[in-house]
Amino acid sequence: MPKNVTIKDIAAEAGVSIALVSFVMNNRIGEDGKQKYRVNQTTRDRILEVARRLNYQPNAAARILRSGKSRVIGAVLSDISNVFYGEIAKQLEEKAFRKGYTMLFGSTDECAEKLDRVVRSFIDKGVEGFIVVPCEGSEGTLRHIRNLNIPLVIMDRKDVDVAVPKVVLDNRAAIKKAVEILAGKGLRKIEMLSYTMRVSSISDREAGFRDRMLELGVCPDDIRIHRIPFEEVSDATEQMVPGLIARGVEGLVFATNSLAIAAIKKLFSMGIRMQQDIHLVGFDNSDVYDMFEPQIPHIRQPIERICGEALARLCNLMENEEKTADQLITLDAEVVNMQ
């Protein structure tokens, strides 16, 4: 391994001091035409030339050590292989890149222990801030982040007693819109598929469903929410669907795309005609929704805005060393393919 080029090498080669090299390297990005350090144009050019010739790469570690800023953000999501979080990841990465930050991603798979492991390893890596989608039992870890004074923004879920900014969807309103689509068609025998998991996004969606159903005059005892364990969506959903049909359910709303997909598969295999024999409203994206004619309407989260807000708040905390503003940013969902 040919020893990496350092500013010292450049200084030697160009016959100047390392300080000068450092100055020049940091001015590279002519920020707003204002140069903090004035260096002789000739010297500057010579240094830049040498740097290029020697293929100089600044050492990140040294820079971080000295400046104390790593410009790395850790994002701890639920499951990066799920489309929704995949899109979140992509947006975060892009937006962070533009701001000059690098993102580190990790999946919790809804397991508090894994979340803790990931968070600790990220801290080890010297992340400057965190964006976290909490899961059941993760409060301790989140508090740990706070205690370490590492900026933190919570995303997607808000039922965590930690005083940090939280960016979430207005889940109640979102599901109300979903129910509305079905109610608007005159349907009343509407049921919901949800997770057993108790996190605010899910609970709020359930609450929204309950609220709207009550408003529609449905008797509380007739409001049906079916809860399925996260780990066995496919099987459990498949087993449950026939029962729904047997009971003559007319409409179904879903708390997540995975639930919707599992149900649609089963319904389709049973020969049930979507949006005819039964009416559905999905949540989040899936290629499956668009398969049918008419397409299955679904609730779309404003992923770009969610990521934008989360990152903005985080940068605020990181850059302005602001006191932990415990704000709740709530964004509205939109309905796709409303019929």
Q: Is 237 in the site for DNA (CB under 7 A)?
A: no
Q: Is 132 in the site for its own copies (CB under 8 A)?
A: no
List the interface residues with DNA, window 61-90 (CB under 7 A). Answer: 62-63, 65-68
Residue range at the interface with DNA (CB under 7 A); choices 31-39, 103-111, 246-254, 277-285:
31-39
Q: Is 22 in the site for DNA (CB under 7 A)?
A: yes
Among DNA, its own copies, none, the one that 3 touches (CB under a kind-dependent 5 to 8 A) is DNA
CB burial string 30-65: b at 16+ within 10 A, e below: eeeeeeeeebeeebbebbbebbeeeebeeeeeebee
Q: What are the residues facing 75 on neighbouring strands?
A: 105, 131
- Selected from 286, 296, 300, 310, the binder of its own copies by CB under 8 A is 286
Rg (CA), the chain: 26
Q: Is 7 in the site for DNA (CB under 7 A)?
A: yes
Q: Is 12 in the site for DNA (CB under 7 A)?
A: no
Distance of CA 185 to the CA centre of its chain: 33
Q: Is 55 in the site for its own copies (CB under 8 A)?
A: yes
Least Å distance, CB 151 to DNA, is 18
Residue range at the interface with DNA (CB under 7 A); choices 7-15, 119-127, 173-181, 299-307:
7-15
Q: Which residues are within 8 A (CB) of 26 and not within 5 positions of it... i.e. 6 or more apart?
A: 36, 37
Q: What are phi and psi of 271, to 5 degrees?
A: 80, 10
Least Å distance, CB 328 to its own copies, is 25
Q: Is 279 in the site for DNA (CB under 7 A)?
A: no
Tokens of 332: 């509205």
Q: Is 23 in the site for DNA (CB under 7 A)?
A: yes
Q: Is 20 in the site for DNA (CB under 7 A)?
A: yes
Residue range at the interface with DNA (CB under 7 A); choices 35-43, 139-147, 270-278, 326-334:
35-43
Between 33 and 68, name the residue whose CB sits nearer to DNA. 68
Q: Which residues are within 8 A (CB) of 84 and not within 5 positions of it... i.e. 6 or more apart?
A: 257, 284, 285, 301, 303
Q: Is 323 in the site for its own copies (CB under 8 A)?
A: no
Q: Is 8 in the site for DNA (CB under 7 A)?
A: yes
Between 58 and 106, name the residue whose CB sits nearer to DNA. 58
Residue 128's identity, in one-letter code, is: E
Between 90 and 198, name the residue whose CB sits nearer to its own copies. 90
List the interface residues with DNA, window 36-65 (CB under 7 A). Answer: 37-44, 58-59, 62-63, 65
Q: Is 328 in the site for its own copies (CB under 8 A)?
A: no
Q: Is 4 in the site for DNA (CB under 7 A)?
A: yes
Residues forming contacts to its own copies in the complex (CB under 8 A) are 1-2, 55, 57-62, 64-65, 70, 72, 79-83, 86-87, 89-90, 93, 97, 102-107, 117-118, 121-126, 147-149, 261, 264-265, 268-269, 286-288, 290-293, 321
